[in-house]
Chain A
């Protein structure tokens, strides 16, 4: 069945460091791909999405490119801030169902 695998955390970075959080997926057909962010004590917020191969989703300095050849949707940011500390979830939508990764906690130190 369809599934999402993302790198385990926590990931700890210093402010202004480059961020990559890896996400790979298994799916038939042509899923849509998402990144959600969850700040402490809050619900998941949509960060960005891509609906077809080679699409790049971007928001708030974060980017992810839908790579069908490698079945990946890695999240990147060039310079993280302390305020980016949160849990990040990769997800896919396919044939009327949503699938979520287990989440990656990011800690950014000043």
Chain B
């Protein structure tokens, strides 16, 4: 069983604050890491797909880094806005005997207080 862990479970920040959270995953047979922004009852929005150790990706005020050797990824949000409130979900794609398999974390719920 591959355990993908996200921390913290939930987070409340003031508008304008910068914040970050963590996705940890076993590094064996690593293939890719996906970050999603997810509002309940809607489809998760894909933010980043990261594959290489040391990868850094940026989309507007959101950025992410990847360390495949130690098995973690950080997601950063600069100058949080209320519209950033959502659950941020990471998923590790691993090569297995039956092909690639996604393993999801349980998400970090972010609330940005105006």
Q: Do A and B come from one complex?
A: no
Chain B positions within 8 Å of A, measured between CB atoms, are none
